[in-house]
Amino acid sequence: MLGAFWFVLAGMGIVFLTLGVLVLAMSALNRWLGAAREAGRREAGAGTAGQGNA
């Protein structure tokens, strides 16, 4: 039964580890893509402003 106990522990550990890494990866990706989108928007805004001034 001790083996079964370690099996349970290892199984739950793998589940939490995998999902933890997944959530970290997705949060980082979402932040990075959000920042890239924001930078793109700022760039587009600056370009439009320049044209307006001309």
- Taking the C-alpha atoms of residue 13 and residue 31, their distance in angstroms, rounded to an integer, is 27
The owner of tokens 């370009």 is 47
By beta-carbon proximity to other proteins, the closer residue of 5 and 52 is 5
Shortest Å, Cβ 33 to other proteins = 5
Shortest Å, Cβ 51 to other proteins = 27
By beta-carbon proximity to other proteins, the closer residue of 37 and 52 is 37
Shortest Å, Cβ 52 to other proteins = 28
- Taking the C-alpha atoms of residue 17 and residue 10, their distance in angstroms, rounded to an integer, is 10
